[in-house]
Chains A and B, each alone.
Chain A
């Protein structure tokens, strides 16, 4: 498990001169599941890339990114290596130990793809590829799991199935999860805390803790949403505007 702290006066892409993210001071407790919600183009993905260390920021620091931290990232598209079989895609990110190899095989079984382990990703459907990406994210036993709208543009039943898998896996290995989405229902269903960002340059509008146990059914999520919007109607014109 990893605790993560991000503190910065802002962030702008080199050469643009315009801040993509405003001043942010965020902490992610070990084992927490934080969803980040904000209007599109507000820099949610950028924030995730900063947390992942993919994007350096000379003006800010991320504490908790120890060099040996086991980290995984699930992207908007699955980004599997097309020249590697499903199994080898998992092996690629692993450390080569027998323990991890076993874990990889067990995860493929878990997401229902052990029979397709020898296939190339190109032979799989979009939903199957996401399942492989999910297995890949967990096969390194991550302490920090970053997810960038991982279930976007899937049909709802498939997305729902993947969310259930994600929750199950998180319950077992309890990584610190940062989950970026523009789908409020998804955030309320999965997270124990939702951070709402304003339009660019993004600033924190609201940190909303959710205590209800998971999994949460559709009615619970609906109720959570009603409560949230009645107490914080400003979100509709801010973080939840399209």
Chain B
């Protein structure tokens, strides 16, 4: 079977479920084999999860983290898209900003986080800005590529029929950019939640990252895994339930072409 033929939905679901169960099995067997607190079995992690849930801590910290992820994601996507469109459509802007972009891409996340906390104080604003700043350059790179690939001839159709500026932007420009926006959003989400945890570990008093720091000090590996799993599950649900359906919708026309 060639690799670009899609499996039927039920079969695909079956394979995915099977692979997850397989992972669980490997984990269980490894835990039995190691037989130490350093690798708690799934049941023990599940128990920690349940304890954290009933105390309300899990919900509190996860909602704090989720709030920061969403805020940083929106800021990064908005600014990154605007700058990417500017650099992709204007040679001058590209020449002016390209070396800054290169520097920004190569600054370690940690440096940005520390500087933000030092300059802006240990606040939520600083945390969100630090995360967004880490993500903006990669959004710019992706969106710039998209803006360069815009088909001017299609934009001319809008002008020839005297469509309004906003209609040309929303109905002819953005649909051409959307695959790139989708790509930026997908990679954005996974990068952002990883950085948010670091930011929380270093300078916040709530959130999953903060909580992981606490468990680290108590050597509570079961709880560390519990939080990781819980938050990972949320990010995966966003990916499967929101991002992928949106992407499929936007790409529907390609299958029928």
Contact = CB atoms under 8 A, between A and B. Distances in A.
Residue among B153, B250, B257 with the most chain A CB within 10 A? B257
A119 B257 CA distance: 9
B160 interface: yes
B154 A73 contact: no
Contacts of A75: 153, 156-157, 160
A81 B172 contact: yes
Interface secondary structure of B, over-half rule: helix
Interface in A21-59: 52-54
A195 interface: no
A152 interface: no
A72 B256 contact: no
Contacts of B172: 81, 92
A123 B162 contact: no
Interface residues of B, number: 17
A215 interface: no
Contacts of B160: 52, 54, 71-73, 75, 146
A122 B253 contact: yes
Interface string A55-76: 0000000000000011111010
A82 B171 CA distance: 12
Contact of A79 (B157, B175, B257): B157
Interface secondary structure of A, over-half rule: loop
Given A81-B172, A83-B175, A120 B157 contact: no
B257 A123 contact: yes
Interface in A121-164: 122-123, 140, 146
Contacts of B23: none
Contacts of A209: none
Interface string A86-128: 0000001100000000000000000000000001101100000
B162 A69 contact: yes
A68 B163 CA distance: 11
A123 B162 CA distance: 27
Contact of B253 (A53, A70, A83, A93): A83
B2 to A, nearest CB: 21
Given A54-B156, A79-B153, A81-B154, A120 B253 contact: yes
A53 B159 contact: yes
Given A92-B171, A120-B256, A122-B256, A79 B154 contact: yes
A53 B163 CA distance: 12
Interface residues of A, number: 23
A111 to B, nearest CB: 18
B163 A93 contact: yes
Contact of B161 (A82, A93, A120, A123): A93
A83 B160 CA distance: 19
Nearest to B251: A83
Contact of A73 (B161, B175, B250, B256): B161
Contacts of B159: 52-54
Contacts of A69: 162
A123 B157 CA distance: 20
Contacts of B253: 82-84, 120, 122
Contact of A120 (B162, B163, B171, B257): B257
Interface in B161-176: 161-163, 171-172, 175
Interface string B224-257: 0000000000000000000000000010010011
Given A83-B250, A84-B175, A93-B161, 11 more contacts: A53-B162, A54-B159, A54-B160, A70-B162, A73-B161, A75-B160, A81-B157, A81-B172, A84-B253, A122-B253, A122-B256
30 contacts: A52-B160, A53-B162, A54-B159, A54-B160, A70-B162, A71-B160, A71-B161, A71-B162, A72-B160, A73-B157, A73-B160, A73-B161, A75-B153, A75-B156, A79-B153, A79-B156, A81-B154, A81-B172, A82-B253, A83-B175, A83-B250, A93-B157, A93-B163, A119-B256, A120-B256, A120-B257, A122-B253, A122-B257, A140-B161, A146-B160
Kindly list the 3 A-B residue pairs having the minimum CB-CB distance in the complex, ordered from nearest.
A122-B257, A73-B160, A93-B161
